[in-house]
Amino acid sequence: MTSEKKLGKSTQAIHAGERQSSPTQKSGIPLLPPIYQNSTFRFTTAAECAEAFRDEESGYVYTRWGNPTQEVLEKKLAVLEAGEAALATASGMGAVSTALLTALADGGHVVAMENLYSATFQILSEELPRFGIETTFVDATDPSQIERAIRPDTKVLYLESPTNPLLKLIDLRASAEIAKAHDMISIIDNTFATPCGQQPITLGIDVVVHSMTKYLSGTGAVIAGAIIGQKAFVTRAKEGALRNFGAVISPFNAWLTLQGITTLPLRFARHCENAVRVAAFLEAHPAVAWVRYPGLPSHPQHELAKHQMDAFGGMITLELKGGRAAGEHLVDRLQRCALAVSLGDVRTLICHPASTTHSHVPAEIRQQIGIADGLVRISVGLEDVEDILADLEQALESCAP
Ligand code: LCS
């Protein structure tokens, strides 16, 4: 049979990792992977149990150590992100923290993009310094800034691209080369792009993390995360930080995420299609000061986007000419688009990052990196685009400066 790595994205999303034996030992294999909703596994002999503890490949012991439903999801994730292995985690932050704790097991210094999701920024700027791990934040859109921040003890390069919420892009191939030359582990949060928008591992990045709460699960039903990378790194994460700190996904959330991923390529294509239309509409609207969308020629890194990404995603950031008051007015007036944090949902979600997702980033740092108080972020959903545009149009009508 064709190797799963060679299949098309939609076929991978549906089939990868799913072939199994019958759990009932009768003929007939469940078409959907079953939910093994159990915390522990029983053995018939002490020797068998001891063997499963000694060699984890030989059996399941306890769901914090591994579970068949989680494993189907992990196999699918590894194929989709072109990695050797994957780990599913309880949340995106579970993935970020587990990846960082694994890469920094012996301490060291981090170089990170200055614009990151706020909880990631807080881990790097507040939590890890308590354990003696420092981070230098740079504008990684300029690879020479990464190079200049590297110290003899730098162990990790941490990136997001496109970034939350500014949609800045980082040249992943150039950054990965710098990390390799300095013996650092490069980690990227690929939540905004998904494996349908870019596959960082194919560009040389070592480790990919995801908040699967977003596009991968897709319907807003779960909180979940993932780590994908080389088998040795993933095994260290699984047998160390994940197991011991405990950010383990539940079998039910793993199963829900599996169902979501089967439609990811189809959904992502539609998110992108709708987002291009919404971004162009907003850019032409007289109440709008500027729009950032990697697929628009006005995006400062549009050339890099075309070169590095297979699709530009469903996230748009904008500022209205009337600043924060107009932005608040806009979100108050929308009827169909939902005022909600999170993203990658089938529903169009809109939020005001300075008072919500990025409110924990100190105001002076928000100003410095460009998260203006008037900035509005839209996660374009899968509704008919005419209905999204009509809702935005009626809400923007009264926002003119
Ligand atoms: N990474 C990125 C890029 C994110 O946007 C988020 C959550 C996380 C990691 C954390 O994932 P979680 O633990 O929530 O699954 N971003 C959010 C946002 O922008 N609005 O609400 C949550």
219-260 pLDDT, tens per residue? Answer: 999 999 999 999 999 999 999 999 999 999 999 999 999 999
Which among 113, 191, 356 is the best mutation to test ligand 1's pocket, defined by most ligand atoms within 8 Å of the CB?
A: 191
* Pairwise CA distance, residues 20 & 44, whole Å: 23
Pick the atom of ligand 1 nearest to 212's CA.
15
The widest CA-to-CA distance across the chain, in whole angstroms, is 76
CA-proximal residue: ligand 1, atom 13 (nearest): 92
User: Quick check: pTM over 0.95?
Assistant: yes
What is the model's pLDDT at position 75?
Answer: 97
Q: Which residues line ligand 1 (CB under 6 A)?
A: 91-93, 96, 117, 119, 160, 164, 189, 191, 211, 213, 223, 225, 341-343, 357
Q: Are 34 and 70 in contact (CB under 8 A)?
A: no
Pick the atom of ligand 1 nearest to 351's CA.
20
SS3 state at 261: helix
CA-proximal residue: ligand 1, atom 16 (nearest): 342
What is the model's pLDDT at position 35?
Answer: 96
What is the model's pLDDT at position 284?
Answer: 98
What is the model's pLDDT at position 223?
Answer: 98
Pick the atom of ligand 1 nearest to 213's CA.
15
Q: What's the CA angle centered on 5, arms 229 and 233, to 5 degrees?
A: 15
What is the model's pLDDT at position 385?
Answer: 98
What is the model's pLDDT at position 264?
Answer: 98
CA-proximal residue: ligand 1, atom 4 (nearest): 117
Tell me the CA distances in angstroms from 251 to 40, 59, 61, 216, 223, one per residue in order.
Answer: 12, 17, 14, 16, 12
| 295 DSSP assignment | T
Per-residue model confidence as pLDDT tens digits over 159-184: 999 999 999 999 999 999 999 999 99
Cα 117 to middle of ligand 1, angstroms: 6
Which among 89, 161, 213 is the best mutation to test ligand 1's pocket, defined by most ligand atoms within 8 Å of the CB?
A: 213
What is the model's pLDDT at position 1?
Answer: 67
CA-proximal residue: ligand 1, atom 5 (nearest): 117
Q: Could you say which residues of the chain have pLDDT below 50?
A: none
* Pairwise CA distance, residues 119 & 140, whole Å: 19
